[in-house]
């Protein structure tokens, strides 16, 4: 039996009594003494709150009591509102137009007897129109005549005069009337031919030729 006692980090070996000694090398199990490090907490540093010394103001000096003066209100009239002047442009002077009357002498009417004389004639051989008129007046008597060619080949002449008694015509005819025989012009009726109607010939398509399917005999024979 071997007892090993450690004292303060040293190993002491004791050999048991009556047993042969066999030198044996023992390696002691050394455990160092733990070193305790205290957790240091520094003391708080207190900074005193600085309070400045109070500044004392000297006591006010009171003047002897004087009553307040009596104020009399001063009357101030309210301002009178005057509207802003409206600008009115100066009128543009326009001279008055000067009217010059266009003087026309009044027509002079003769109260005496009327006197005139005129005449005209129209001859249109292309259309066969031929007529004319002539008239003259002196005082209260009017004389004249007019003529016109009629369709039957005659000429009608009308002579007239008018006075205080009225209108007095005299009608005469010159020439012999002719009445040509009316010959109707035959015009055959137009023959209308109906327009040919074109019909497209139908296009025939040959019928399809069907071929029967090829029949193939089996390569093997039937046995019954």
pLDDT in tens, 36-50: 676 777 777 767 677
pLDDT, tens digit, for every residue of 8-36?
Answer: 444 444 555 555 555 556 566 667 777 76
Task: Give domain status of residue 100, yes or no.
Answer: no
pLDDT interval class at 99 (50, 70, 90): confident
Task: Give domain status of residue 126, yes or no.
Answer: yes
What is residue 139's DSSP assignment?
T
Q: Are strands 166-174 and 155-163 parallel, antiparallel or unpaired?
A: antiparallel
Give the other-Cβ count within 10 Å of 135's Cβ: 16
Q: What would you report as the CA-atom Rg of the chain, rounded to the nearest whole angstrom?
A: 82
Task: Give domain status of residue 58, yes or no.
Answer: no
Task: Give domain status of residue 147, yes or no.
Answer: yes
Give the pLDDT of residue 72.
75
Task: Give domain status of residue 137, yes or no.
Answer: yes
Phi-psi region at 152: left, alpha or beta (left = phi > 0; alpha = psi -120 to 50): alpha
CB 157 within 8 A of CB 148: no
Q: Based on the structure, what is the number of domains in the chain? A: 1
Task: Give domain status of residue 145, yes or no.
Answer: yes
Highest mean pLDDT: which range of 36-50, 150-164, 183-197: 150-164
Give the pLDDT of residue 45.
74
Domain that holds residue 140: 115-174
Task: Give domain status of residue 91, yes or no.
Answer: no
CA distances from 147 to 28, 103, 173 (A): 184, 46, 9
Strands of 155-163's sheet, edge to edge? 115-124, 129-138, 141-149, 155-163, 166-174
pLDDT interval class at 4 (50, 70, 90): very low
What is residue 175's DSSP assignment?
S
């Amino acid at each position: 039996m071997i007892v090993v006692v450690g004292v303060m980090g040293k190993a002491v070996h004791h050999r048991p009594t009556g047993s042969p000694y066999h030198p044996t090398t023992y390696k002691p199990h050394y455990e160092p003494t733990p070193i305790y490090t205290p957790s240091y907490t520094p003391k708080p540093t207190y900074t005193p709150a600085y309070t400045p010394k109070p500044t004392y103001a000297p006591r006010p000096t009171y003047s002897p009591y004087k009553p307040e003066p009596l104020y009399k209100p001063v009357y101030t009239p309210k301002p009178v509102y005057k509207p802003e002047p409206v600008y009115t442009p100066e009128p543009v002077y326009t001279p008055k137009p000067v009217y010059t009357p266009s003087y026309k002498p009044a027509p002079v009417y003769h109260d005496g007897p009327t006197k005139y004389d005129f005449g005209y004639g129209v001859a249109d051989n292309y259309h066969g129109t031929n007529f004319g008129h002539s008239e003259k007046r002196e005082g209260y008597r009017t004389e004249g005549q007019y003529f016109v060619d009629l369709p039957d080949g005659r000429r009608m002449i009308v002579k007239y005069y008018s006075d205080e008694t009225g209108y007095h015509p005299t009608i005469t005819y010159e020439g012999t009337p002719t009445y040509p025989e009316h010959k109707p012009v035959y015009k055959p009726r137009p023959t209308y031919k109906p327009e040919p109607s074109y019909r497209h010939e139908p296009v025939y398509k040959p019928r399809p030729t069907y071929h029967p399917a090829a029949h193939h005999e089996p390569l093997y024979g039937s046995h019954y």
